[in-house]
Amino acid sequence: MTTTPVAAVTRFAPSPTGHLHIGGARTALFNWAWARKLGGHFVLRIEDTDQARSSDDSTRRIIQDLAWLGVHWDEGPTLKTNGATLGGDPRAVGPFFQSKRLDHYRKYLDQLLEADLAYHAFETPDELKELRDQARRDKRPSRYNRAALDIPRNERFKRAAAGERCVVRFLVKNEPVTIHDEVLGDVTIAAGELDDFVIRKADGYPTYHFAVVVDDELMGVSHVVRGQEHLINTPKHAVLQRALGFKTPTYAHLPLIFNAQGGKMSKRDKDKAVRKVCRDADLAAPPAGTIDADTFSAWLKDKNRQLDTGDLLALAAAVGVTLPEIDVEDFRAAGYLPEVVCNYMALLGWSPGDDLEKFDMNFLAENFSAARVGKTNARFDYKKLLAFNNDAICEMNDNVFADRWWKWARQFAPDLLAALGAADAINDRFRLLAEASRPRSKTFRDAAVGARFLTIADDAIEYNEKAVVKTLLKNDAAGLAVLRHLRADLANCEDWSPPSLHALIDSFAEFHEMGMGKVAQPLRVALTGSTVSPPIDASLAVLGKASVLARIDRCLSVIAAPASAD
């Protein structure tokens, strides 16, 4: 029973059977925004009645991803984050896990059974499969034939009470069902199109359709935003609501989010990306230390087969594929800013008007309306999101970037912090690296990749062959000569700060009548193995004098100059 009425209640109700998909995150965002716009509450409810697939780990990840995005719920499971507590049960409408609400479902299930608006059905899975197969052979829609209703009512109840395996089906009236949608208008399902659908499974747990209807009523949900893939379910929910005497919430069904190829964004996109590289490379066997050869062969031949997450990640790393981001956790790991992800997600189906594209969460909360949600499917543009993120990083000051990058690196690049001695707190080396990395980083991961050379031991640098030829060996090994002569100047340098080091390199280049690039690039190859790094003066300063000299010495000993060189 509610204690304090609120103007409106929206909810996000994920099933904890995997990661939080970007489409689910958008649904949560729009429900949050609608609740804020209407001055109401946003509820987080965990629909964990699928006992075989639900997991506590998935629940934890979904909750943390929502908190990271800033999509904060008023009621639901509690989470302490950044000194605040999200969730709770101020209106006393919990619990917020469906697996703990079974008594509620039993009450309303019994109500429908007693009123003969639902009935027990005892067919086995094999019998139901035969019914579907026969319908397919007859080229007609598969519909349950209501054979259970031929069993006397008392007998059905007795058999169910005795523990015989059965489901409960809702008795659908033969009449059209019309629902009003704030995005799509009136949607009508013709009489006879709805089957007598299952509302309680054989394991005793409610189906999604039944649980969501009961929970929405008891939690006072007044507005529901969800994807258009759920539109097919809404008539079922409407007939249940009418049978139970419940209110029907205001519905708004969102357009789908497609990938660049016009398909639904899914984990399959990751498989496709890796499979394409493996096929293009004509790999006959998986790289050593990745996955089983038979598994690899079967997966490579069957485009519908998917690798499990661990195998896919191992294979992607081995063949050098950056997997497309699909789940919120992917975007977190890639180093995107949560406010940018939310800004971009909001544009996938909703328009603020006036050609405005960049706005914050407060703007979304103040201006959201279902009337500005489009009907056509949205297409996810990774380049546009990346551009948004790049702009946001460029607008940060160095201290803010350092602080946020460090927090990201604690989870996703701990080896970098360990190499800099910054695992427990930001220090001068990390702050210097952050200042040097920010202008050339579109994401936090970009910055970490650019600084990867700092995590490699001085004697373990691997040299890019093209960089060696172009930068060190070209023109009779002019680059190696630069390193030999520059090493002495660096060894004698006492002020190991970026300004001092920049002046040293500039003076060396001027004395030898060469451009800065002719000095900096050979030095980069010696220090990092490639021609890409943060500004060379900052790279030298962060790496430290001892490591710089050791890496130059190793490069000179490992890279052999042509016999004709001095």
Encode pLDDT of 110-160 as tens digits.
999 999 999 999 999 999 999 999 999 999 989 999 999 999 999 999 999
Order the strands of the 177-181 sheet from edge to edge.
185-189, 177-181, 250-254, 223-227
Residue 264 has pLDDT above 90, yes or no: no
Query: What span, in angstroms and rounded, lies between the C-alpha atoms of 30 and 350?
Result: 9
Q: What is the mean pLDDT of residues 437-463?
A: 97
Q: Which helix (H) or strand (E) holds 170?
A: strand 167-170
Reading the block at residue 445, the tokens are: 């991961």
267 catalytic? Reply is yes
- Residue 1 confidence class, pLDDT cut points 50, 70, 90: very low
Distance between CA 124 and CA 127 in Å, rounded?
A: 5
Helices (H), 193-282: 208-218, 234-244, 268-280
pLDDT at 446: 96
Q: Which residue type does 464 have?
A: N
Q: For residue 541, is pLDDT > 70? A: yes
Q: How many residues does the chain have?
A: 566
For 285-344, write each residue's pLDDT tens digit.
Answer: 999 989 999 999 999 888 889 998 888 989 998 998 989 999 999 999 999 999 999 999
pLDDT for res 116: 98
Report d(CA 524, CA 558) in Å as an integer. 15
CA 75/CA 73 separation, integer angstroms: 6
What is the model's pLDDT at position 202?
A: 95
Confidence tier at 193 by pLDDT (50, 70, 90): very high
pLDDT of res. 563? 54
User: To which H or E segment does residue 77 belong?
Assistant: strand 76-81
Token pair recorded at residue 143? 């519909």
Cα–Cα dist 451/416, whole Å: 8
How far is the C-alpha of 22 from the C-alpha of 385, rounded, in Å?
A: 13
Q: Domain boundaries in the chain?
A: 101-254, 396-455, 458-558
Confidence category of residue 4, pLDDT binned at 50, 70, 90: low
Provide the H-helix boundaries in 53-124.
56-69, 102-114
> Is the pLDDT reported for residue 565 higher than 60?
no
Q: Which helix (H) or strand (E) holds 134?
A: helix 125-137
Q: How do residues 38-75 score in pLDDT, each as one tens digit?
A: 999 999 999 998 878 889 999 999 999 999 999 999 99
C-alpha–C-alpha distance, residues 408 and 405, integer Å: 5
For 141-158, give the DSSP string.
Answer: ------GGGGS-HHHHHH
> Is 101-254 assigned to CATH 3.30.300.30?
no
- Which tokens is 353 given? 């008007």
Residues 117, 210 contacting (CB under 8 angstroms):
no
What letter represents residue 534's amino acid? P
**Structure tokens that stand for 396 in this block:** 């940060």
Q: What is the pLDDT of residues 343-366, one digit of tens each?
A: 999 999 999 999 999 999 999 999
Taking residue 428's Cβ as centre, other Cβ atoms within 10 Å add up to 12
Work out the end-to-end distance of the chain between its first and last CA atoms, rounded to an integer number of angstroms. Answer: 89
Please report the DSSP string for 478-498 in residue order. HHHHHHHHHHHHHHT----SH
Question: What does the block give as tokens for 428?
Answer: 């001068």
Backbone φ, ψ for residue 375 (5° rounding): -95, -25
> Does the pLDDT at position 410 exceed 80?
yes
Q: Which residue is catalytic, options 236, 267, 270, 442?
A: 267
Tell me the CATH number for domain 458-558: 1.10.10.350
pLDDT confidence of residue 82: 84
pLDDT category, 266, cuts 50, 70, 90? confident
Q: Is residue 566 predicted with pLDDT exceeding 50?
A: no
Q: What is the DSSP string of 338-380?
A: HHHHHHHHHTTTB--STT-----HHHHHHH--GGGB-SSPEE-
With CA atoms as reference, report the closest residue to 456 among 559, 516, 533, 385.
Answer: 533
What's the whole-number average pLDDT of the chain? 94
271 and 307 Cβ atoms separated by less than 8 Å: yes
| pLDDT over threshold 80, residue 557 | yes
The pLDDT of residue 423 is above 60: yes
Listed in order, strand segments (DSSP E) in 265-304 are none
- Residues 490 and 496: their CA atoms lie apart, in Å, by 9
- Dihedral sign (CA 13, 19, 24, 25): positive
Q: Tell me how many degrees the CA angle 56-57-60 measures, rounded to the nearest 5.
A: 85
Residue with tokens 């490379």: 281
Higher pLDDT, 263 or 246: 246
What are the counts of helices (DSSP H) followed by strands (DSSP E) for the chain? 24, 13
Least confident of 4-18, 66-80, 358-372, 532-546: 4-18
SS3 assignment, position 167? strand
pLDDT band at 2 (very low <50, low <70, confident <90, very high): very low
Q: What is the dihedral of CA 245, 182, 66, 316, to 10 degrees?
A: 120
